[in-house]
Amino acid sequence: MSAPEEEPIIFAPETFQYNKYSLDIGDVEKDPIEQFTKWFKEATDDPDETLAEAVTFATAELPSGRVSSRILLFKELDVRGFTVYSNWETSKKARDIQSNPHAALTFFWKNSQRQVRIEGPTEFVSRQLSERYFKLRARGSKIGAWASPQSQQIEDRTELDRRVSEKEAEFEGVDDISCPPHWGGLRVVPLEIEFWQGRNCRLHDRIVYKRNGEHDPWKIVRVAP
């Protein structure tokens, strides 16, 4: 005999209907990188999309299969893929990537009612590229990258503040703070990219680019919502 169902704490919030645009295979570019660039520009140019570069970055630990995700800020796109920057020594996502180099990204732009999903293997970018981006960061963010043992347990906020103060003292008078060896870029090399346009009654348009390997041609298909 099954246990009785518990009363839900939250149940069926009011449905939001997507009703702005449509998407068909004939509407998209042959290259998904070009299509993403087009949509990303439209999102960044939209004053109602306040953080177009926000992206969900999902990883999975092996052999447990536990999945974790977090919001990062997308920072770089080249012909090979999508790059995010982080601590790759102590963070939870670093441990996941060490056991399973595959990852997924999801962008959601509410005002244009669009999603882009990206799946593929990952690779670390060159030290030169990591240092190039690190130079653009605010000074406080540079110090934070050195000070924070990301994802590791700490006693309290005071411990973090102490670590930051120690690094501020260490780098006092240093104009060009170097990039930590544990910090840098991770590129997701896409094998599948889905462009999702919200439609009424959950009958969304989904156009998917697929390939078996990085050097294989893209196949473009429509999938059901």
CB 72 within 8 A of CB 58: no
Structure tokens at 136: 């653009």
Could you tell me the CATH number of the domain that includes residue 108?
2.30.110.10
Question: Does residue 195 lie within any of the structural domains?
Answer: yes
Number of residues written out for the chain: 225
- d(C-alpha 163, C-alpha 146), whole Å: 9
Question: Does residue 8 lie within any of the structural domains?
Answer: no
Question: Does residue 47 lie within any of the structural domains?
Answer: yes
The pLDDT tens digits for 132-180 are 999 999 999 999 999 998 888 888 999 999 999 999 999 999 999 999 9
The answer to which of 23-27, 59-63, 151-155, 191-195 has the lowest mean pLDDT is 151-155
Residues with a catalytic annotation lie at 202
Question: Does residue 67 lie within any of the structural domains?
Answer: yes
Query: 117 is in which domain, residue-wise?
Result: 32-222
Question: Does residue 154 lie within any of the structural domains?
Answer: yes
Structure tokens at 9: 């704490």
Q: What's the structural domain count of the chain?
A: 1
In the prediction, which pLDDT does 66 show?
96
The pLDDT tens digits for 1-18 are 677 788 899 888 888 899
Question: Does residue 164 lie within any of the structural domains?
Answer: yes
Encode 48-84 in three state secondary structure.
CCCCCCEEEEEEECCCCCCEEEEEEECCEEECCEEEE
pTM: 0.90
Question: Does residue 17 lie within any of the structural domains?
Answer: no
CB 179 within 8 A of CB 131: yes
In the prediction, which pLDDT does 1 show?
63
Question: Does residue 23 lie within any of the structural domains?
Answer: no
